[in-house]
């Protein structure tokens, strides 16, 4: 049986009167652009979690072991408790005791491990692998667009997907392999489902089989169910019972996966970066805010990463702008509705629902464009319809105020998705490469340390994590790592004794990304952390105001032995450089100015 959407799509191109690019030309151009966009970061060195994964594979964290299949099972497994990782310095002293980052991604993990074994530290090879998976995703996206859209919108949607701003991280950050691999498999499952509905028998069993594999690559695979369900329930006609039966295999697999995920103890807890969806109204409010930010990215191409880690007022403003942009799209669509063929009207309906549903998993973490790799497929179809049909309507309408207003909005949307996406994509790739090279350079500045490395101020992960990890990978291991503060604020060392001192935070500021990752709330007064040779006593905890800003704190650190011992290497980040710091002496009061690193934290 040939689906109604395919029949309508073929008839539309003959009557819309629009000059169109052939499907083959659009796909070739999209592939070429995708490769060109990725070039700026192709030869950059490993970045952040890329280095972490290398350290995990090389058993670089004393007493902690990861297999090639659990590189995304970071913290919280019985053999990788918070306390054990704090002892080594792999996570900071202030991390929540119930912190957990456990993600079931064995297929993506094995893909990364295989790349490291085959290519070693050649980051360009790992990026080529991720780029190859992205091209697979792009190919399936183009095939789906050809099935549901007329040639003109299909060509535009394919090119828009190739240049979407959120693809920077999945393509150029090897550690995000799960995103691009999960998207490629999800789109393959959607394509097999569509072919199976058209009578291609292998698609009826290949689709669910690929979906199972996808669930072993990334939680994003659940977005495939959102797309298939929206397409089946809102985009197709026929007996409702039959449509439900078509969804049954995917729904049953997804339900079994979720039950396994919860029972096996996977998921994220104890962090402000990742949400527990069962946490109630507070979590729901944050998810709505993040949804608005992500909608803004899909409509305007402005990267969600620019605001995802900012203060609450900034996030609210970005979410409001995202909703307003969506309202503008709805207004333009209403203006052009008479030029939208019936089949494309159905695509607008189910495509919007699919995009929103596929975006929801991304609201459980800090708003980031990388969570949209799958959602932008149906969103791109809708935006392509809006742009093509609105331009057609403006061109053929009678001059007037309504036409002028529509023309301004349509031109703005067109520039946003056609020019803005590639602009932010290339800019992001260049920034990615800059940060990666800067982190490698900083690591070379770290002084040798045979004992305990004490980093006083490490708000930027380049200083607090990447540098020490690279030091260990380069054969210069140290005894332990102690990062005292990850706050980009004025700090004061005072009340120095022979074995410790107080560290006071003097400024009011928004919590950094690192602080949000490791705990959900400010550290409370009276909190004590006892690690081998390192005791922490929070004398005055940070206070959080309604706008999400944290105010000063006072923490006492005791190292259990004289801090002027050669067993300690005190390090500070100042004036854009890492340099050794003379151990404080009794009576000293030392002020340390805030310093931002390559990442900008």
Query: What confidence tens digit (pLDDT) does each residue in 451-506 have?
Result: 899 999 888 888 888 888 888 888 777 788 999 998 888 899 999 999 999 999 88
Query: How does strand 543-544 pair with strand 73-75?
Result: unpaired
At 523 the three-state DSSP class reads: coil
Residue 155 has pLDDT above 80, yes or no: yes
240 burial via Cβ count (<10 Å: 0-12, 13-18, 19+):
exposed
Q: 492 vs 279, which has greater pLDDT?
A: 492
How far is Cα 479 from Cα 442, in angstroms, rounded to an integer?
20
- What band does 1 get if pLDDT is binned at 50, 70 and 90? very low
Is residue 160's pLDDT more than 70?
yes
Q: Taking each helix axis from N to C terminus, what angle separates 177-197 and 201-215, rounded to the nearest 10 degrees? A: 160
pLDDT interval class at 9 (50, 70, 90): very low
More confident residue, 519 or 379: 379
Higher pLDDT pick, 279 / 595:
595
Report pLDDT for 543.
Answer: 64
Q: Which two tokens stand for residue 547?
A: 């706008």
The residue among 204, 212, 165 whose CA lies nearest residue 185 is: 212
Which residue shows structure tokens 């932010």?
Answer: 424
CA atoms within 13 A on the CB side of 227: 32
In this prediction, residue 519 carries a pLDDT of 86
Residue 547 pLDDT greater than 80, yes or no:
no
- Vertex 509: Cα angle to 504 and 511 (nearest 5): 95
The yes-or-no verdict on residue 8 having pLDDT over 60 is: no
Helix, strand, coil distribution of the chain in percent, nearest 5: 60, 10, 30
Q: Is 542 helix (H, G, I), strand (E, B) or coil?
A: coil
Which residues 6+ apart lie within 8 Å of 475 measured at CB? Answer: none
Q: What is residue 121's predicted lDDT score, i.e. its pLDDT?
A: 80
| DSSP output for 260-292 | HHHHTT-EEES-SSS--TTS-HHHHHHHHHHHH
HEC string for 162-226: HCCHHHHHHHHCHHHHHHHHHHHHHHHHHHHHHHHHCCCHHHHHHHHHHHHHHHCCCHHHHHHHH
Interval 323-330 mean pLDDT: 94
User: Tell me, what's the pLDDT at 229?
Assistant: 95
Question: Quick check: 285 pLDDT over 90?
Answer: no
Task: Tell me the CA distances in angstroms from 15 to 146, 151, 339, 395, 584, one per residue in order.
Answer: 17, 12, 11, 16, 79
- The pTM assigned to this predicted structure is 0.91
Q: What percent of the chain has pLDDT over 90?
A: 62
Residue 21, pLDDT score: 61
Mean pLDDT, the chain, as a whole number?
88
Q: Give tens-digit pLDDT for 237-270.
A: 888 888 899 999 999 999 999 999 999 999 998 8
Instruction: Check whether 175 has a pLDDT greater than 70.
Output: yes
Mean pLDDT (whole number) for 147-155 = 93
């Amino acid at each position: 049986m040939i689906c109604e959407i395919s029949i309508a799509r073929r008839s539309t191109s003959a009557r819309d009167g629009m000059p169109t690019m052939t499907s083959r030309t659009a796909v070739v151009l999209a592939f070429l652009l995708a490769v060109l966009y990725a070039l700026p970061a192709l030869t950059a060195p490993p970045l952040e979690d890329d280095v972490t994964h290398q350290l995990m594979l090389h058993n670089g964290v004393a007493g902690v072991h990861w297999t090639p299949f659990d590189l995304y099972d970071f913290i919280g497994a019985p053999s990788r408790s918070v306390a054990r990782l704090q002892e080594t310095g792999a996570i900071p002293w202030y991390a929540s005791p119930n912190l957990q980052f456990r993600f079931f991604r064995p297929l993506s993990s094995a893909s990364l491990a295989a790349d490291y074994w085959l290519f070693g530290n050649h980051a360009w090879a790992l990026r080529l692998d991720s780029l190859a998976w992205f091209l697979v995703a792009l190919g399936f996206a183009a095939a789906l667009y050809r099935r549901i859209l007329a040639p003109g919108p299909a060509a535009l949607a394919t090119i828009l997907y190739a240049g979407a701003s959120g693809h920077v991280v999945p393509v150029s950050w090897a550690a995000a392999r799960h995103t691009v691999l999960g998207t490629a498999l999800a789109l393959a499952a959607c394509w097999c489902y569509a072919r199976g509905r058209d009578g291609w028998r292998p698609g009826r069993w290949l689709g669910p089989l690929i979906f199972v594999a996808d669930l072993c690559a990334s939680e994003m695979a659940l977005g495939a169910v959102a797309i298939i369900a929206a397409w089946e329930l809102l985009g197709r006609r026929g007996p409702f019972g039959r449509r439900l039966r078509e969804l049954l295999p995917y729904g049953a697999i997804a339900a079994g996966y979720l039950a396994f995920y919860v029972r096996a103890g996977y998921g994220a807890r104890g962090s402000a970066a990742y949400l527990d969806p069962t946490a109630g109204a507070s979590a729901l409010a944050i998810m709505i805010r993040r949804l608005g930010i992500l909608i803004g990215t899909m409509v305007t191409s402005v990267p969600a990463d620019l605001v995802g880690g900012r203060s609450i007022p900034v996030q609210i403003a970005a979410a409001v702008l995202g909703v307003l942009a969506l309202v503008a799209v709805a207004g333009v669509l209403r203006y052009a509705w008479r030029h939208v063929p019936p089949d494309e009207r159905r695509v607008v309906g189910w495509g919007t629902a699919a995009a929103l549903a596929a975006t929801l998993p991304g609201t459980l973490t800090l708003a980031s464009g990388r969570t949209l790799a799958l959602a932008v497929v149906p969103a791109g179809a809708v935006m392509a319809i809006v742009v093509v049909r609105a331009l057609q309507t403006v061109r053929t309408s009678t001059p007037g105020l309504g036409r002028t207003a529509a023309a301004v909005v349509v031109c703005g949307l067109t520039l946003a998705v056609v020019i803005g996406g590639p602009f932010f994509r290339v800019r992001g790739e260049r920034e990615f490469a800059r940060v990666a090279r800067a982190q490698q350079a900083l690591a070379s500045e770290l002084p040798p340390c045979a004992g305990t490395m004490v980093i006083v101020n490490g708000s930027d992960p380049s200083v607090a994590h990447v540098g020490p990890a690279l030091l260990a990978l380069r054969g210069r291991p140290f005894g332990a790592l102690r990062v005292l503060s990850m706050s980009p604020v004025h700090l004061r060392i005072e009340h120095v004794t022979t074995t410790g001192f107080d560290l006071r935070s003097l400024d009011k500021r928004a919590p950094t990304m690192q602080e949000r990752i490791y705990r959900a709330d400010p550290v409370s007064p009276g909190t004590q952390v006892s690690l081998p040779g390192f005791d922490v006593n929070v004398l005055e905890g940070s206070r959080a105001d309604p706008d999400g800003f944290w105010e000063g704190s006072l923490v006492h650190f005791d190292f259990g032995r004289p801090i002027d011992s050669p067993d300690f290497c005190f390090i500070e980040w100042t004036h854009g450089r890492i340099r050794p710091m003379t151990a404080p002496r009794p009576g000293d009061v030392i002020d340390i100015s805030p310093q931002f690193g390559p990442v900008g934290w």
